[in-house]
């Protein structure tokens, strides 16, 4: 009888030990979360600042006429001006990321400090009236471009938070040129449409904020300035106009920042 009681006690103790051992097993490991690749898709807004330098190649042309009582005074040859200065403004855009490829549309508006003053060569045929004062030679040409903008496509390739992209589209510029000399001055303002192309790199510092560096080239086309007051080609009392044919191109480098609207994508649970 005692033997049976002892064997039953040993069996109970063994079962209890097995239950305790089961309770002491190590817990299952917690899932490991891998951060989701950054997603560039979404609406964004930001600002930029940089430096721009333009190239103005101008060729004057006038109406050939013999010297009259007041003589003939006109620009005599090609001249160049290189307006340059700080440029900065704001941009707004939208990106769509497909796998690692990015397509987007962006517009910007910039105020600029671009300006340049040059002395253009002139030609003077003395008047028949010797009492007329010789106006001398040289004319002052001052050019500014206070406001610019663009509407562009962007295409790029993303490595997670790093993005390299190309951009291009339509560009717009306000251009003001003042010609002044002995006779007076002409101030001519116009808005030019052209094209721009360039590229840059961008990095997402957080899920919403990114920084960028960019280069762009712009061509605002060719245009004519007709000068009525500063270069009156006066012959026998008849006033004629001198004219200047100009081609304006521009380079710029700039840095900027953007804020992307929307929440960050959900993390991806790693598989075991």
Q: Which residue has the higher pLDDT, 255 or 231?
A: 255
The region of weakest confidence among 26-30, 38-42, 48-52, 263-267 is 263-267
Residue 266 lies in a domain: no
In the predicted model, is pLDDT for residue 217 greater than 90?
yes
Residue 272 lies in a domain: no
Contact between residue 216 and residue 196 where contact means Cβ atoms under 8 Å apart: yes
pLDDT in tens, 230-249: 766 544 444 455 788 999 99
Tell me the pLDDT band of 125, cut-offs 50, 70 and 90. Answer: low
In this structure, how many other beta carbons lie within 10 angstroms of the beta carbon of residue 182? 16
Residue 6 lies in a domain: no
> What does residue 204 show for φ and ψ, rounded to 5 degrees?
-85, 105
Residue 26, pLDDT score: 52
- Please compute the mean of the pLDDT values over residues 122-132 and round it to a whole number: 57
In the predicted model, is pLDDT for residue 99 greater than 50?
yes
User: Among 267, 271, 242, which Cα is nearest to 121's?
Assistant: 242
Range of the domain at 117: 36-261
Contact between residue 251 and residue 85 where contact means Cβ atoms under 8 Å apart: no
Residue 11 lies in a domain: no
Residue 215 lies in a domain: yes
Q: Which residue has the higher pLDDT, 127 or 143?
A: 143
Residue 129 lies in a domain: yes
Contact between residue 107 and residue 90 where contact means Cβ atoms under 8 Å apart: no
Residue 92 lies in a domain: yes
> What's the CA gap between 91 and 150, in Å, rounded?
9
Residue 130, pLDDT score: 45
| Complete DSSP assignment for 80-147 | EE--EEEEEEEEEEEEEEETTEEEEEEEEEEEE--EEEEEEPEEEEPPSSTTSPP--S-EEEEEEEEE
Q: How many domains does the chain have?
A: 1
> What does residue 50 show for φ and ψ, rounded to 5 degrees?
-170, -155
Helix (H) or strand (E) holding 214, with range, is strand 209-232
Contact between residue 193 and residue 172 where contact means Cβ atoms under 8 Å apart: yes
- CATH value at residue 127: 2.40.160.20
pLDDT in tens, 141-189: 999 999 999 999 999 999 999 999 999 999 999 999 998 887 788 899 9
Residue 136 lies in a domain: yes
pLDDT in tens, 3-44: 555 455 545 555 555 554 444 455 666 665 567 789 999 999
């Amino acid at each position: 009888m005692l033997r049976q009681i002892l064997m039953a006690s040993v069996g109970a103790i063994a079962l209890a030990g097995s239950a305790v051992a089961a309770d002491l097993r190590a817990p299952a490991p917690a899932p490991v979360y891998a951060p989701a690749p950054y997603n560039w898709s979404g609406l964004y807004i930001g600002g930029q600042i940089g430096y721009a330098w333009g190239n103005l190649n101008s060729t004057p042309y006038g109406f050939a006429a013999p010297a009259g009582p007041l003589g003939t005074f006109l620009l005599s040859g090609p001249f160049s001006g290189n307006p340059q200065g700080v440029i900065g403004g704001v941009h707004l855009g939208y990106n769509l990321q497909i796998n690692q490829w990015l397509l987007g549309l962006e517009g910007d508006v910039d105020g600029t400090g671009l300006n340049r003053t040059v002395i253009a060569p002139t030609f003077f045929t003395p008047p028949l009236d010797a009492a007329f004062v010789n106006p001398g030679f040289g004319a002052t040409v001052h050019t500014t471009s206070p406001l610019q903008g663009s509407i562009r496509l962007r295409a790029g390739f993303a490595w997670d938070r790093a993005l390299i992209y190309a951009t291009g589209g339509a560009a717009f510029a306000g251009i003001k040129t003042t010609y002044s000399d002995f006779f007076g001055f002409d101030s001519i303002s116009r808005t030019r449409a052209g094209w721009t192309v360039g590229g840059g790199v961008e990095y997402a510092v957080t899920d919403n904020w990114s920084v960028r560096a960019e280069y762009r080239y712009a061509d605002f086309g060719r245009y004519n300035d007709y000068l009525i007051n500063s270069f009156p080609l006066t012959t026998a009392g008849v006033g004629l106009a001198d004219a200047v044919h100009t081609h304006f191109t521009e380079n710029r480098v700039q840095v900027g920042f953007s804020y992307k609207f929307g929440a960050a994508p959900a993390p991806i649970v790693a598989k075991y």
